[in-house]
Structure 1
Amino acid sequence: MKYQFVRGSLIGMLALGIVLPLGLMAQSKPQYGSLAEALRSAGNLYGSQGPQSVNWTNGGNKYSYTNNDEIHSMDPKTLNDELIFKNQGLTFPGSAKGFEYESFQWSHDSKHLVFKTNLRKIYRRSGISDYYIYDLDSKQLKQAAKDARSAELSPDGSKVGIERGGNMFTYDFATGQEKQLTGDSTSENGIFNGHYDWVYEEEFGQEQAWNWSPDSKYMAFWQFDEHTVPDFQMTNYEGQHPDNIHISIPQVGDANPVVKIGVIDVASGKKVWLTPDETGDFYIPRIYWTSNPDVLAMMTLNRAQNHLKLYFFNVKTGEHHVVMEEQNSTWVAIFNFYTNVNDMIYFPEKSKEFFWVSDRSGYYHIYRYNYDGKLINQVTKGNWDMIKVSGIDPESKKIYYLSAETSGLEQQFYAIKFDGSDKTKLSTVPGFHDINMSPNTKYYLDSYSNVSTPLHVALNDDKGKTLKMLEDNKGVSDFIKDHAYSAPEFFNFKTADGTSLDGYIIKPFNFDPNKKYPVVMTVYGGPESHDVFNSFSADMWQQWLAQNGYIVANVNNRGIANYGSAFMKIVYKQLGKYESNDFAETAGYLAKLPFVDASKMAIMGTSYGGYSTTYTLLTHPGVFSVGIANSPVTDWRLYDDIYTERYMAPLSDNENGYKNSSDMTFAGNLKDHLLLIHSMSDDNVHPANTMQLLTALTNSGKDVDLRIYPPGAHGAAYNWESYILIESVSYQYLERYLKGNCDLPNLNAK
């Protein structure tokens, strides 16, 4: 369901006002000859994203980055840049084939690189790969694991932990031997160790289901038993007798896999199961090693995901106790996909304190606990959301974090003491900042932009001083000076019930305020996501629409994050209701602008944006005359249980809510043009969603347009040609039904 596009937005606008950024007036500047040309030129606006594959090494005193296939090391203190690895002349051991890699990780001693090669994708994050170890001193390359789902060096560098075929192994460098640690997984029994099932990987956001202990003595791992989980089948219809792919995916109300945590003493092979005091159906979404060598923290969630417990386990004995509990009338968040927040709880090394991020005050803030579970103090406070903890320094007792304190449209960087004192704003440029901080918190990379400033990447020290500007994307700035470009302009208005909403419009090239233009709202809108930021817009689809006389719009609807819990969690148990209301009211606000043609408005989106599109057309008919829905959920009973029950509650507790959030309930209301797009190989939003909506519409005597792309995954596109075709079909649909343009080019013409 998570198929998110982040687009630009602006801070500091007056209510109901419009801000006019640089780059709007595009008359007489070069434009794009075709949609394909526009999409191919995306790099002109996207520019450079700065150093790639950044990894902090040497305890945080250096970082590595990639330049093509080379790996460089940067010393922030001296600004010395050193080439430490290159592919040239290197071959796979025992082969003449040139060495290539997918990604890499560092050993804790910063003397070895672990390369992932020959990746064969499985789900969104995971895949089967071969792993090689490179010694920086000897410059020797050795294979460490073949056909493994994951592999990682032990912290002391003596071994490689491996998960292969649902079992755990280690490879010992001293002996050159591989040792099998578990043997209870087979292809027939539905039991596997060390990797997640589909729904845990997708909805709890992690790939590797095991962790080394900091002292390299133990490996803690998840075990899954999914033999009771329903089987989902899909095919791309290729071949004389198409193959069906089988995946165990629990949908709403289905049986979940049985999950437990094991810890193996690597030296002895002894295994201890850590059993929490839970009954019924529950999840174990996270485990963490604490600063006590033999203590593992385990997080449990009830199936409704509104009651969290944090256990401390002695991994030698299995003895345990509950340290902290968190309950909520809606849901308790343990990570956020959209802001790349993997954790809401933090255990600093060499500290007997931990930090928990909670919205118990109505806004997300940081809370400080000791290992006895006693709340010491609330660290951040205010009517704004803390977004992400970027670094924690136990020595100076400082936390570094990103927040929406200045506005829900901004992401700014701060430092604060553990006791909540001495808060300092480190970022100075208005806009969206993303921080990659060294583990010792001495340095950080600040990637930032705003509506009139392309992405900049700066290397800073812990006081916020810029040591070096790594990327300023001057080429992008020069490009928009010399080429047609329309930047977002931002607005704010209040809905009928008094809720304040932020949004943006992108005006057509050669804009004439005396003309009236059609509007295309491009939406996502799912809970905990965020659409409109004060960040640079590089969306070439939107620029193509602007070139061809469309106004493009978007809004931060209710359900969106960074405006407080009341704004976000109002959608609980009633997905679709407030999102569609806010899209319809945004259309009403835009319709009053003198240059908007209120009779020619479209709404379109993918994944949750597809659901937003269909549900809005069906519950607010006539507001938008056209809808384009790619890979839409159409009934939440057809989606996976972890995501859906988090926001809708289990089905038995909310049957009317599920009915009222279903497109099928309102299928008879359709009066507008609707294009549905889906892949038959979508393991995320299953094709049944579109097919069941088609049946409901047909039974109501309603006709729609349909495009199926069998080999595609979620989002339907599966290669460049399919991507161009889907965008072209969507554009022609807008041209035909918003502008009445029936004289359209043949998409098959060369």
Structure 2
Amino acid sequence: MKNHSVRGLIGAAAICCLLPFNLSAQSKQQYSNIADALMSAGKLRGKSGPQSVNWINDGEKYSFISNGDIRSLNPKTLADELVFTSKGLKTPGTGTDFAYQSFQWSKDSKHIVFQSNFKPIYRRSGVSDYYLYDIETKQLKEAAKNARSAELSPDGAKVGIERKGNMFVYDFATAKELQLTNDSTDEHGIFNGHYDWVYEEEFGQAQAWNWSPDSKYIAFWQFDEHKVPDFQMTNYEGLHPDNINISLPQVGDANPSVKIGVVDATTGKKVWLTPDETGDFYIPRIYWTNNPDELALMTLNRAQNHMKLYFFNVKTGAHRVVLEEKNNTWVAIFNFYTNVNDMIYFPKKSKEFFWVSDRSGYYHIYRYGYDGKLLNQVTKGNWDMLKVRGINPETKTVYYLSAEASPLEQQFYSIKFDGSKKTRLSQLAGFHDVDMSPNTKYYLDEYSNLSTPLHIALNDDKGKTIKLLEDNKEVNEYLKGHDYSAPELFKFKTSDGVNLDGYVIKPFNFDPAKKYPVVMTVYGGPESHGVFNRFSGNGWQQWLAQNGYIVVDVNNRGIANYGSEFMKVVYKQLGKWESHDFVETAKYLGSLPYVDTAKLAIMGTSYGGYSTTYTLLTHPGVFKVGIANSPVTDWRLYDDVYTERYMGLVGDNAEGYKNSADMTHAANLKDHLLLVHSMSDDNVHPANTMQLLTALTDAGKDADLRIFPKGAHGAAYSFQSYILLSKINFQYLERYLKGKSDLPNLNSSK
């Protein structure tokens, strides 16, 4: 249950800027209204450096988008060249100007496959037309129409295509398309090459097939979701509103049955790969190994605490298990919040692979041979390894980001395969994110801290800066003329002896002799992270600071980067420790002389919405106001992959599911609660809010409700709707936290 809608709207606002005002020497400019504050996010975040970076020529160059053109930069010479321009280019077979939404490079960096006319389906997927561009001849030709995905083969001779649940391959030499599968049925039946809703959402991928490195085969997922219940929603648009049906398993429901096929891209011959599993299980990942005709296939039991890695011969189907991982809680293979797509890595030109596990109590890298034998643990210590960013088999070096310096930071390191010669490559304190070239010679480092706006540097593999690509001096210039309250980090110990980190944003013109209301803006979900030593560009929080609010967030238990004991204490009891820590934070804030403990609010979206409702209902009277956007209110109403990972199977944890549900505690409500939801939310279904309202009504309790029929997850569906939602939230705080009654009409033009 991840919040993404509002993040996109704020990004759209980044292209806007504030209107200039005359500044006096004595004062700085403040926001004239909420819209100004929200649009200031672009000014505060500054430039984001090269756009759509792709490493090409095995890492000797990277491409990026500049003013709509694709250019390349050579880190060795710093030569900047034009690679592609759409100026004057027409869509093949038409007279219209060519336009695209995204693109991918061929393995040899001689061709670009463009995605055009994209029509979204789920979070990551959609239907598009695909076109192939030849870098040398500058010719553009059609590759696939109305396809969910298309990808050039590694040898550049064919294009693999998934269309309407079947796999195809187009051969450029023969100019013919070969259909590789023909067993797709209706929309909610059997289909190949794309994921169902829950796999795409919770295992984090959109394309459910992979070319083999030698271009001989395509390995693909096949789904059969006949037994999966449908979720139905509508946005109530039109005279006869359409209902959208999505096959989506909730907790305890039947999952789609899944299997992996491998098809010869020339003959169409198929082999099905059958692991030795029984009952309900997932196949979240497949990987081509460096052995010819060998595919690695990962299985995960439904409870997601037992992973197996199989190696299959794709010609015969023969297989063996090379790795098993068991855990008393869950085995992680993907992390939405940190953009970690894999916990297992198969470097090229190597007969070794690397697996990330928290078996020691912290996430670390382990090195294995293809025979399944553990060669050694690569990283060690009472800190979490966060992301593997590069592996070089020739120098036997792994490059990774970790929280070793601080759970509030990401720092970049290199280490040898045997665990020796660990070297910290990033030096500035703060948050670093790294995009490393495939040959590990270079990397782009995006970094900031609480007092340093975003910087982007091109570095070599020793951490030496080759070129500073962006320093965002404009942000510092902007701050010279505008009020801004930077987050300040704090740490305190809870009553049960656990240290928690947080940040506080104080009001503009802060006076420690005064008492201020507090708004806690929370998320709090397992494996996420809220507080970093990173520059803040949140216009909404700055608006609250301008209007006399203290803004607070905290890294509650369940959050990542503090080790498994801290994170996994929430297992089978979501809500309990998160709400406990929010209340402990409120108690800590109450010890500060400038906090008005009678005026505390808590608000959040998605999991943050659940954190808000559950805290109000299980700890009544601590927070006077709660604003919950798109909240889960009963985990039995959420999808099974996410929920069962953290709550276990419902048959094994019936009491835990009951205790974690808001409805169980509805009679406890004594504070002001605003619920916000969209009727078109396919992530957290509106049934969550509606069932909570019924439980509150049955208990004689009242809450306020705001519905956005057209919105998706996060409710707002445009920047205008985001402004209105922000106004609604702000007036709710003003009315019930500050006690104001003379609030302006939101429909007025003032």
Fold match, TM over 0.5? yes
Which residue is equivalent to 2:554?
555
Matched, 1:450 2:440: no
| Shift in Å, 1:293 | 1.8
Matching residue's letter, 1:519: V
Question: Shift of the alpha carbon at 1:69?
Answer: 1.1
Report if aligned partners of 1:219, 1:263 keep a CA contact under 8 Å in 2. Answer: yes
Q: Which residue of 2 aligns with 1:68?
A: 67
SS of 1:725's partner is helix
Say which SS state the counterpart of residue 87 (structure 2) adopts. Answer: coil
Match of 2:423 in 1: 424
What do the CA deviations read for 1:339-398 (whole angstroms, capped 9, x no partner)?
A: 100000000111010000000000000000000000000000000000000000000000
Residue 3, structure 1, aligned to residue 3, structure 2: yes
What's the offset of the Cα at 1:290? 0.4
> Counterpart amino acid of 2:211?
W
Whether the 8 Å contact between 1:6 and 1:533 is mirrored in structure 2 is: no
1:465-510 per-residue CA deviation (whole Å, 9 max, x = no partner) reads 0000011111011111221100001100011110000000000001
TM-aligned CA deviation for residue 88 of structure 1: 1.1
User: In 2, distance between residues paired with 1:667 and 1:749?
Assistant: 36
Looking at structure 2, the residues matched to 592 and 91 of structure 1 have their Cα atoms a distance apart, in angstroms, of 66
Mapping of residues 48-87 of structure 1, within 5 Å: 48-87=47-86
Alignment match, 2:594: 595
Distance across 2 between alignment mates of 1:75 and 1:356: 32
Confirm whether residue 157 of structure 1 aligns to residue 172 of structure 2: no
Partner of 2:312: 313
Of stretches 67-76 and 383-392 in structure 1, the one that deviates more from structure 2 is 67-76
Q: For the residues of structure 2 that align with 1:502 and 1:733, how far apart are their CA atoms? A: 28
Q: Which residue of 2 is the match for residue 743 of structure 1?
A: 742
Question: 2:476 — aligned with what?
Answer: 477
Of 80-89 and 701-710, the range deviating more from structure 2: 80-89
Q: Report the Cα distance in structure 2 between the residues aligned to 1:469 and 1:37, rounded to whole angstroms.
A: 31
Give TM-score scaled by structure 1 length. 0.97
Query: Match for 1:729: what amino acid?
Result: I
Partner residue, 2:236: 237
| One-letter amino acid of the counterpart of residue 743, structure 1 | D
The AA in structure 1 aligned to 2:403 is: A
- Could you tell me how far 1:67 is from its partner in structure 2? 1.0
Q: Does 1:415 align with 2:409?
A: no
Q: Is the CA contact (8 Å cut-off) linking 1:648 and 1:657 kept in structure 2?
A: yes
What is the correspondence of 1:108-119 to structure 2 with a 5 Å cutoff?
Answer: 108-119=107-118
Q: Distance in 2 between matches of 1:679 and 1:548?
A: 28
Once the two structures are superposed, residues 173-192 of structure 1 have per-residue CA deviations (whole angstroms, 9 ceiling, x without a partner) of: 11111111000002267000
Contact 1:4 1:524 (8 Å CA) reproduced: no
Q: 1:530 to 1:4 in 2, by over 3 A?
A: farther
CA distance in 2, matches of 1:683, 1:551: 34
Distance 1:411 1:65 in 2: 24
Partners of 1:229 and 1:742 lie apart in 2 by 50
Residues 182-201 of structure 1 aligned to structure 2 (within 5 Å):
182-187=181-186, 190-201=189-200
Contact (CA 8 Å) 2:330, 2:646: kept in 1 or not? yes
In the aligned structure 1, how far is the partner of 2:84 from the partner of 2:26?
48
Amino acid of the residue matched to residue 213 of structure 2? P
Task: Determine if contact 1:5/1:531 at 8 Å carries over to the other structure.
Answer: no
Match of 1:350?
349
Partner SS state of residue 611, structure 1: helix
The C-alpha deviation readout for 1:261-295, integer Å capped at 9, x for no partner, is 00001112110000000000000000000001211
> Residues 193-240 of structure 1, C-alpha deviation per residue, up to 9 Å, x if partnerless?
000000000000001000000110000000000000001000011112
Say which SS state the counterpart of residue 583 (structure 2) adopts: helix
Structure 1 Cα separation of the partners of residues 292 and 446 of structure 2: 36
2:693 maps to 1:698: no
Using a 3 Å threshold, how does the CA distance of structure 1 residues 188 and 407 change in structure 2: closer, same or farther? closer
Aligned AA (1:542): Q
Partner of 1:204: 203
Displacement of 1:31: 0.4
Amino acid of the structure 2 residue aligned with 1:115: F
State the partner residue of 2:12: none
Task: List 4+ stretches of structure 1 deviating above 2 A.
Answer: 4-7
Paired letter, 1:431: G
Q: 8 Å contact 2:188–2:247 — kept in the other structure? A: no
Q: Conserved in 1, the CA contact under 8 Å of 2:193 and 2:209? A: yes
Post-superposition offset of 1:94: 2.2
Structure 1 CA distance for aligned equivalents of residues 182 and 406 of structure 2:
53
Q: Cα–Cα, structure 1 residues 683 and 27, in superposed 2: closer, same or farther, change >3 Å? A: farther
Residue 721 of structure 1 corresponds to: 720
Indicate the residue corresponding to 1:14 in structure 2.
none
In the alignment, the residues of structure 2 paired with residue 68 and residue 340 of structure 1 have an alpha-carbon distance, to the nearest angstrom, of 27
CA apart distance, 1:4: 6.5
After superposition, residues 10-159 of structure 1 pair within 5 angstroms as 28-159=27-158
2: CA distance, partners of 1:483 / 1:301:
52
* Structure 1 residue 41: Cα displacement: 2.4
- Is this contact kept in 2: 1:6–1:530, CA < 8 A? no
Contact 2:6 2:722 in 1 (8 A): no
Residue 22 of structure 2: aligned partner: none
- 2:487 & 2:369 partners in 1: Cα distance? 46
Letter in 2 for 1:444: Y
| Secondary structure of the corresponding residue to residue 42 of structure 1 | helix
Instruction: Kindly indicate whether the alpha-carbon contact (under 8 Å) linking 2:158 and 2:172 is maintained by their aligned counterparts in 1.
Output: yes
Structure-1 residue corresponding to 2:568:
569
| Inter-partner Cα distance in structure 2 for 1:307 and 1:645 | 13
Which residue does 2:364 correspond to in 1? 365
Change (3 A) 1:498 1:339: same
Root mean square deviation, CA, Å: 1.1
Shift of 1:59: 0.7
Could you tell me which runs of 5 or more consecutive residues in structure 1 were left unpaired when the two chains were aligned.
8-25
- 2:403 counterpart of 1:404: yes
Give the residue type in structure 2 aligned to 1:463: K
TM-score w.r.t. the length of structure 2 is: 0.97
Task: Give the Cα–Cα distance (whole angstroms) in 1 for the partners of residues 130 and 292 of structure 2.
Answer: 28
The answer to whether the 8 A contact 1:516-1:594 is kept is yes
What is the SS of the residue equivalent to 2:136? coil
Q: In 1, distance between residues paired with 2:6 and 2:189? A: 38
Q: Which amino acid aligns with 1:747?
A: L
- Opposite residue 416 of structure 1, the aligned amino acid is I
Note if contact 2:225-2:257 (Cα within 8 Å) is conserved in structure 1: yes
Conservation of the 8 A alpha-carbon contact between 2:5 and 2:715: no
1:531 alignment partner, SS class: coil
**In structure 2, distance between residues paired with 1:650 and 1:116:** 40
Question: 1:16 maps to which residue?
Answer: none
CA distance in 2, matches of 1:660, 1:258: 31
Q: What is residue 531 of structure 2 aligned with on the other side?
A: 532
Runs of at least 5 residues in structure 2 that lack an aligned partner in the other structure: 8-24
In 2, distance between residues paired with 1:405 and 1:123? 36
CA distance in structure 2 between the aligned counterparts of 1:217 and 1:461, rounded to whole angstroms: 36
CA gap of 1:117–1:54, structure 2 versus 1, over 3 A, is same
* Higher relative contact order (Cα pairs below 8 Å, separated by 6+ residues): 1
Is the Cα contact below 8 Å between 1:679 and 1:687 reproduced in 2? yes
* Partners of 2:511 and 2:66 in 1: CA distance: 45
Partner SS for 1:309: strand
TM alignment of 1:376-387, pairs within 5 A: 376-387=375-386
* Cα displacement (A) at 1:5: 11
1:272–1:450 distance in 2 versus 1, CA, 3 Å? same
Q: 1:337 to 1:27 in 2, by over 3 A?
A: farther
Contact conserved, 2:4 with 2:714, CA < 8 A, in 1? no
| 8 A contact 2:391–2:440 mirrored in 1 | yes
Report the Cα offset of residue 746 of structure 1.
1.1
2:621 aligns with 622
Partners of 1:118 and 1:480 in 2: how far apart?
A: 40
Counterpart position of 2:579: 580
**Are the structure 2 counterparts of residues 303 and 657 from structure 1 closer, same or farther at C-alpha, using a change threshold of 3 Å?**
same
Q: Residue type matched to 1:182 in 2?
A: T
Q: Answer yes or no: is the 8 Å Cα contact 1:503–1:554 preserved in 2.
A: yes
Shift of residue 744, structure 1, vs aligned partner: 1.1
SS of alignment partner, residue 463 of structure 2 = coil
What is the identity, as a one-letter code, of the residue corresponding to 2:658?
K
AA matched with 2:65 = T
